[in-house]
């Protein structure tokens, strides 16, 4: 097995058919392994990164793909490589033929260990039971690369099997009260309606209109100040590229809530393999007190129970608002590896040794004034 590295957009595009062939044979299947997903992610990241896609070949056949990028302008002299991800990524892994996973992980680890053009490797949004977390991490260590796995939280999900009434009966009184208040506030403010533009019933006009409405709502949300709202150039490139492919493949699902025919809340989803992936949920920040996002979420979630779907995935993070709706989640982790270069060794020492040693001191300094005021920092002789 040999490794080649793809660094051009043309080379990346040429991999599409073989890439999707591998992704469709992966277990479990995931939209976040498909070429179209990474192509959309590259539409976002192309201004701050360079492609470093590692392809493992067995003869002429492609056995595995590790979709990496090299970050530019990270503020340090460290050469950092990461997976080709964006904030909307829910999960990522090696794209590999199941029969070649072990050999591919070993060959890729050996190739990475032999290179001196990277210092730190950060592989994020990993399934805790995936190939990278269980095999590539071990192979990197076997080839002398310092590598650590850290918990990354969970991708929380709601099981859509059963009936809505059965699920709704398990929610707390406070959740039900908040949903009723949101509905009442909106209905007092004007005429409210919900629209769904989804797989199987979507014209070009419907798709374009729904997408532009979603982008406009994102631009009026609190996320605009973060630079990640969809009206910014890089996220906008991502969502338009993804929408074009998702409509073609039958994955695209957009929900919109209107107040007096003005779009005020949206949720952008991908539907794949019986799963609904909620990528973006935004609402007009001027209507924060009316909670249009909560109103839309309650409405669309009930509707999702009407079909033959399996799970509704809310995205990484054990956020409090998500925990009000579910306690179930798929564990995620992050792999950080340090090369045997000068900057790799320095980064390894700082992150794996210096920072853990200094953390208790930093915590004591941070808590010092409050601890002394409460007597918690008293010396034994003063107790």
Q: What does the pLDDT look like over 101-110, one tens digit per residue?
A: 999 999 999 9
Query: Is there a single domain that holds both residue 78 and residue 201?
Result: no
Q: Which range of residues forms the domain containing residue 106?
A: 2-155+332-340
Q: Lowest-pLDDT range, 25-34, 73-82, 372-381?
A: 372-381
Q: CA-to-CA distance for 323 and 181, rounded, in angstroms?
A: 19
pTM here?
0.90
Check pLDDT > 90 for residue 119.
yes
Check pLDDT > 50 for residue 54.
yes
Q: What does the pLDDT look like over 122-158, one tens digit per residue?
A: 999 999 999 999 999 999 999 999 999 999 999 999 9
- The answer to whether residue 381 is domain-embedded is no
- The answer to whether residue 375 is domain-embedded is no
CATH of the domain at 177: 3.40.630.30
Q: CA-to-CA distance for 297 and 304, rounded, in angstroms?
A: 11
Identify which has the larger pLDDT, 44 or 76: 44
Tally Cβ neighbours within 10 Å of residue 350.
Answer: 12
Check pLDDT > 90 for residue 3.
yes
345 preceded by a cis bond (ω within 30 of 0): no
Query: Is there a single domain that holds both residue 224 and residue 91?
Result: no
Query: Is there a single domain that holds both residue 217 and residue 258?
Result: yes
Q: What does the pLDDT look like over 257-297, one tens digit per residue?
A: 999 999 999 999 999 999 999 999 999 999 999 999 999 99
- The answer to whether residue 360 is domain-embedded is no
Asked if 133 contacts 335 with a C-beta cutoff of 8 angstroms, the reply is yes
Arithmetic mean of pLDDT, 187-213:
88
Query: Is there a single domain that holds both residue 166 and residue 190?
Result: yes
Q: Give the per-residue pLDDT at 378.
A: 37
Q: CA-to-CA distance for 299 and 264, rounded, in angstroms?
A: 14
Query: Is there a single domain that holds both residue 66 and residue 178?
Result: no
Confidence band, pLDDT 50/70/90 cuts, at residue 370: low
Q: What does the pLDDT look like over 203-236, one tens digit per residue?
A: 778 889 999 999 999 999 999 999 999 999 999 9
């Amino acid at each position: 097995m040999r490794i080649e590295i793809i660094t051009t957009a043309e080379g990346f595009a040429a991999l599409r058919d073989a890439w999707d062939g591998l992704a469709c044979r992966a277990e479990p299947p995931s939209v976040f392994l498909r070429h179209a997903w990474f192509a959309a992610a590259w539409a976002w990241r192309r201004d701050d990164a360079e492609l470093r896609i590692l392809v493992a070949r067995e003869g002429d056949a492609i056995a595995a793909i590790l979709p990496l990028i090299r970050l530019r302008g990270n503020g340090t002299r460290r050469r950092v490589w990461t997976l080709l991800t964006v904030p909307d990524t829910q999960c990522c892994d090696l794209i590999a033929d199941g029969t070649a996973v072990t050999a591919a992980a070993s060959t890729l680890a050996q190739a990475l260990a032999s290179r001196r053009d990277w210092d730190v490797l950060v592989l994020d949004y990993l399934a805790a039971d995936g190939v990278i977390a269980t095999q590539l991490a071990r192979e990197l260590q076997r080839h002398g690369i310092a590598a650590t796995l850290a918990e990354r939280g969970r991708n929380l999900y709601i099981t859509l099997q059963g009936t809505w009434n059965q699920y709704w009966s398990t929610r707390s009184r406070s959740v039900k009260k908040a949903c009723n208040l949101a509905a009442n506030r909106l209905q007092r403010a004007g005429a409210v309606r919900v629209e769904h533009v989804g797989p199987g019933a979507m014209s070009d006009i419907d798709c374009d209109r729904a997408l532009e409405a979603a982008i406009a709502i994102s631009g009026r949300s609190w996320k605009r100040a973060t630079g990640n709202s969809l009206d910014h150039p890089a996220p906008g490139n991502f969502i338009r590229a993804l929408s074009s492919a998702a409509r073609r493949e039958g994955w695209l699902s957009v929900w919109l809530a209107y107040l007096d025919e003005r779009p005020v809340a949206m949720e952008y989803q991908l539907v794949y393999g019986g799963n609904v992936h909620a990528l973006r949920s935004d609402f007009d920040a001027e209507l924060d007190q009316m909670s249009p996002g909560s109103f839309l979420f309650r409405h669309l979630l009930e509707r999702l129970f009407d079909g033959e779907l399996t799970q509704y995935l809310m995205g990484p993070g054990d956020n409090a608002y998500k925990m009000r709706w579910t306690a179930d989640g798929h564990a995620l982790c992050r792999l950080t590896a340090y090369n045997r270069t000068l900057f790799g060794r320095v980064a390894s020492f700082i992150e794996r040794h210096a920072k853990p040693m200094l953390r208790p001191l930093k915590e004591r300094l941070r808590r010092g004034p409050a601890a002394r005021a409460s007597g918690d920092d008293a010396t034994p002789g003063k107790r």
